[in-house]
Amino acid sequence: MGSKNKLKRFQENETFSNVIQPTREEVVGGFPLRGKWNTHFKNDNPIVLELGCGKGEYTVGLAKKFPNKNFIGIDIKGARFWKGAKEAIEGDLTNVCFIRTQIELIDHIFGAAEVSEIWITFPDPQIKYKRTKHRMTNATFLERYKQVLKPEGTVNLKTDSEFMHGYTLGLLHGLGLEVLYANHDVYKNEGSPKEVLEIQTFYENQYLEKGKPITFIRFRVN
């Protein structure tokens, strides 16, 4: 994407009512919506996050499928989720918003037990050992998720990376956390939730064209 295109999208994001772009200082210094997100959506519906939401395809897809839930896509790259934010506005989806910030700050953005569900879709598996701290299902991230999730809240990991799938399952079992469902090839093996099969991202379609299996895990951290 050219720099002019990115700049145009950044500028357009600033006009979108469903995009929030706080500075890091604003987030860690006392984010005003922390613990009060239902005042933003003007309802008491469950709050669902997509972390590393990219173009926002899953955030928007889930919002269309579940109108009685609120969906928040989080990514540091606003030029990417511009597409999802624009689609949500054009589709009059009032149960969607996007936040441009670092994922590791989610416990500053959301209060204790404020979130019902988390989706992590096709994250970078960070295969090299020295990149372990950046894996979105490492023990440190799981602890952050635990802080914001309700007691019965769930985390969903959908990935094309067999490494990420295996690493996460091993870690969950090692920590004694509850795995609700696991599937190493969702399009070949029966039983996957409909939202796993019916919502596909741009990159997922590319993986499928190459014959790569798509994996899925649903688990709890509490």
Catalytic residues: 124
Q: How many CA atoms lie within 13 A of 32 on its CB side?
A: 6
Three-class SS of residue 30?
coil
**How far apart are the C-alpha atoms of 159 and 47, rounded to whole Å?**
22
Q: Which amino acid, 146?
A: K
Closest by Cα among 180, 196, 179 to 188: 196
Tokens of 58: 């899953």
How many whole angstroms separate alpha carbon 180 and alpha carbon 145? 16
> If you search the block for the tokens 């596909």, which residue do you land on?
200
Closest to 204 (Cα-Cα) out of 137, 148, 158:
158
